[in-house]
A and B are shown apart, each in its own frame.
Chain A
Amino acid sequence: MEEQVGLAWHRLVNRLALRRYPAAAVTLSSLTREAGLLYRALGGDDGIALQAGAASLHGAERSWLEKLAGSGRKADLAWVDPQALRLPPQIDAYPEARLNHDLYLWLAALCAQDPQPQAPWFNRNQAAARAIIQHFPGLAALYQRLVVAEIARRPDAARMDADGAKQERAIRAALLCPGSVTHLPSARHPPHPVLLWLRPAAPQLAAPMTEKPAPDPVSGASAPQTDAVRRQAERAESIEEPGGLLLFRPESIFSWSEYAKIQHETRKTMTPIWPRRRTIWMSSRWRAINAASPRNCA
Chain B
Amino acid sequence: MSLPKEIPAYTPNADEIEVFQLAYQNRLPVLIKGPTGCGKTRFVEHMAARLGRPLYTVSCHDDLSASDLVGRHLIDSSGTYWNDGPLTQALRHGGICYLDEVVEARKDTTVVLHALSDDRRILPIDRTGEILAAPPEFMLVVSYNPGYQHLLKGLKPSTRQRFISLAFDFPSPALEAEIVVAETRIDLGRAKQLVMLAQALRRTADHDLEEAPGTRLIVDAAKLMVSGCRAQTACRVAIIECLSDDPEISRALMVVVAAIFAE
Contacts and interface: CB of A to CB of B under 8 A. Distances in A.
Interface of A: 33-34, 36-38, 40-43, 46, 105, 109, 135-142
B208 interface: yes
B208 A40 contact: yes
Contacts of A140: 262
A137 B252 contact: no
B217 to A, nearest CB: 15
Interface stretch (B73-81, B97-105, B113-121, B199-207): B199-207
Interface string B245-257: 0001101110111
A42 B200 contact: yes
Interface in B228-263: 248-249, 251-253, 255-263
Contacts of A137: 260-262
Given A33-B248, A33-B249, A43-B203, 10 more contacts: A33-B252, A34-B255, A36-B252, A37-B252, A37-B253, A41-B201, A41-B203, A138-B258, A138-B263, A141-B262
Interface string B185-229: 000000000001000110110111000000000000000000000
A136 B248 CA distance: 22
A40 B204 contact: yes
A33 B196 CA distance: 21
Majority secondary structure of chain B interface residues (helix, strand, loop or mixed): helix
A137 B262 CA distance: 6
Contacts of B201: 41
Interface of B: 196, 200-201, 203-204, 206-208, 248-249, 251-253, 255-263
A37 B208 contact: yes
A46 B255 contact: no
B251 A34 contact: yes
A148 B196 CA distance: 28
A33 B204 CA distance: 12
Contacts of B258: 138
B252 A46 contact: no
Given A40-B208, A41-B203, A105 B255 contact: yes
Nearest to A38: B255
Contacts of B200: 41-42
A138 B204 contact: no
A284 B39 CA distance: 111
A107 B262 CA distance: 18
B259 A139 contact: yes
B207 A42 contact: no
A137 B189 CA distance: 12
A33 B208 CA distance: 9
14 contacts: A34-B251, A34-B252, A37-B207, A37-B255, A37-B256, A38-B255, A40-B208, A41-B200, A46-B203, A46-B204, A46-B207, A135-B196, A138-B261, A141-B262
A138 B262 contact: yes
A140 B259 CA distance: 8
A41 B249 CA distance: 13
B262 to A, nearest CB: 4
A137 B196 CA distance: 12
A43 B206 CA distance: 13
Nearest to B258: A138
A141 B262 CA distance: 7
A140 B258 CA distance: 11
A38 B251 CA distance: 11
A17 B206 CA distance: 46
A38 B260 CA distance: 11
A34 B204 CA distance: 12
A136 B197 CA distance: 10
A46 B208 CA distance: 10
B207 A38 contact: no
Contacts of B206: 46
Most buried by A among B200, B248, B257, B259: B259
B207 A40 contact: yes
Contacts of A42: 200, 256, 259
Contacts of B252: 33-34, 36-38
Contacts of B196: 135
B260 A136 contact: yes
